[in-house]
Structure 1
Amino acid sequence: MKIIDAHIHFCQEPYFDQIAESAGHQNTVIHLKKEYAAHDIVHGVVMGNRSLQLSEHNYPDDLSYCVGLDSTCFQAEEIVRQADLVEKHLQRENCVGIKLYPGYNNFFIYDAVVDPFYQLAMEYQKPVAVHTGMTATSNALLKYSHPLVLDEAAVRYPQVQFVMCHIGNPWLVDAVAVMEKNENVAADLSGILEGRIDSMPDFFAKKHGYIDFLKTWLEYLDNYDRLMYGTDWPLANIANYIEFVAHLIPAKHHDKVFFDNANRIYNLGL
């Protein structure tokens, strides 16, 4: 089974080195390629968290990226210049979308200051991925990353394809409600596991309440055309994550969730 990892990070920095080690990996290009080959992962989508300088977004051929926007993009005096830079990214074939980090940068994604970037997403027909759910730092604000913010954004911008990263975890019911109501909202299943899990059967038994809850609401949604496999690499162990998602998703939908949906939503042409 071919796999696309629809949500990874690609930063050679001490922080990412440490979390890779905790997941049983090494945060290097060589190691990532080795793991991809071992698990038939044919492509990855990097969620950019660097500056908007084009020179900082050079990736191997088997990786595409979403250009990440930080709070400087939404300052009135900077919007035109930043939008011009974002457009240069979207003109690149391997730039497959825009990534927003509202919880970390303290803005609502339906605010008018984001309009220039939604206009670009529509013009270039590329999706907007949004960090939703829990944040990695305590100084971020969850009111901005709650999945319900996507409801208003999806209604205001019906021509934009949104991707709800991390499926709004832990607000899973709200996340599913937003997806059920808004056909222009998809989700990736990244960022739910962390580190390396030595025994997945033991993990499934220990976390059966949470897992059954998530499976129940995914079955309630019953739309496996808008769910994508993702790991949040290097946060989690790749082998663990494949087993986890395979456990969540009915086997007849594996091809969609592991490959087809990301290939279509991010227009990867694979």
Structure 2
Amino acid sequence: MKIIDAHLHFATDAYFDEIAKAAEHENSADHLLEQYRMRGMVHGIVMGNLPVEELEPAYPPFLSYCIGLDSQVFDMAKLPQKLHLIEQHLRSERCVGIKLYPGYASFYLYDDRLTPIYELAARYKKPVAVHTGLTATDKALLKYSHPLVMDEAATKFREVQFVMCHFGEPWFTDAAAVIEKNPNVAADLSGLLERKIPDFAAFCEKKHFYIERLKGWLEYLDLYDRFMFGTDWPLANLGDYIAFTKEIIPEEHWQEVFYENAVRIYHLKPESMLAVR
């Protein structure tokens, strides 16, 4: 089975080195390629954290990217002056979407300032991926990253394909309601694990409440054509994440969730894929 990682991060710095080590990985392009080939993973989509001025980010060739409006490198107040750069990214085949970080940058998805972003996304037919749910730092504000906030944006901009990153974890009930109501909202299942899990069976037993409710809302929706596999690399061990996703997704939908949905939603090209050995 071919697998696409629809949500990862890629950077060479000490922070990523440490979290990769905790997941029993090495934060390097060579190691990532080795792991991809070992597990039948043929492509990945980087959620960008680089300045928009870097028009040709140095990601490995087996990775596409979403241009990220990360508050650490992007000032929303300067959006009008940066739109031409964002558009240049979207013209590239390697740039397959836009990534927003509302919880970290303290804005609501339906903020009128974002209208030009959504207009560009619609024009170039590229999705807008959004961090939803819990944040990696306690300085971020959850009111901006709650999945219900996506409802108003998705209703106002029906021509835009939204991707609810992390399925709004842990607000699965609210996330499911937004997806059920809005046909232009999909989700990835990244960011639900971290580190290496030493005993997967024991982990599933210990996290029974969490897993059963996650599976329950996925079954309730029964919209497996709108969910994508993602790892949030280097946060979690890749083998664990594949096993976890197989645990929460019925086997008859693995092909969709692990591969087909990402190809369709992000308009991926066969020539960008790694060959499966």
Q: Same fold (TM over 0.5)?
A: yes
Equivalent residue for 1:119?
A: 119
Aligned-residue CA RMSD in angstroms? 0.9
Tell me how far apart the structure 2 counterparts of residues 217 and 24 of structure 1 sit (CA, whole Å). 31
Alignment deviations for residues 180-209 of structure 1 (CA, whole Å, 9 cap, x no partner): 000100000000000000111111111111
Deviations 1:134-162 (A, max 9, x none): 00001000000000011001000000000
The one-letter code of the counterpart of 1:189 is L
Q: Percent identity?
A: 57
| 2:273 match | none
TM-score by length of 1: 0.97
Match of 2:234 in 1: 234
Structure 2 unaligned regions, length at least 5: 271-277
Q: For the residues of structure 2 that align with 1:165 and 1:137, how far apart are their CA atoms? A: 16
Partners of 2:14 and 2:53 lie apart in 1 by: 21
Q: Once superposed, which parts of structure 1, at least 4 consecutive aligned residues long, lie more than 3 Å away?
A: 70-73
Query: 1:2-27 deviations in whole A, cap 9, x for unaligned?
Result: 00000000000111110000000000
Please give the residue correspondences for 1:52-67 in structure 2 after superposition, counting only pairs within 5 Å.
Answer: 52-55=52-55, 57-67=57-67
Note the 1:1-270 alignment, pairs <5 A. Answer: 1-55=1-55, 57-71=57-71, 72-75=74-77, 78-270=78-270
Structure 1 residue 73: Cα displacement = 4.4
TM normalised by structure 2 equals 0.95
Given that 1:155 and 1:182 are in contact with CA atoms closer than 8 Å, whether structure 2 keeps it comes out as yes
Quick one: which amino acid aligns to residue 194 of structure 1? E
Please say if residues 191 and 232 of structure 1, whose CA atoms lie closer than 8 Å, have aligned partners that are also in contact. Answer: yes
| Distance across 1 between alignment mates of 2:258 and 2:194 | 19
CA distance in 1, matches of 2:202, 2:186: 30
Unaligned runs of 5+ residues in structure 1 are: none
Aligned length: 268
Q: Is the 8 A contact 1:54 1:89 kept in 2?
A: no
Displacement of 1:56: 5.9
1:61 to partner: Cα distance: 1.6
Q: How far apart in 1 are the matches of 2:237 and 2:16?
A: 13
Query: Would the aligned equivalents of 1:73 and 1:82 in 2 still touch at CA under 8 Å?
Result: no
- Distance, in Å, in 2 between the alignment partners of 1:226 and 1:237 is 24
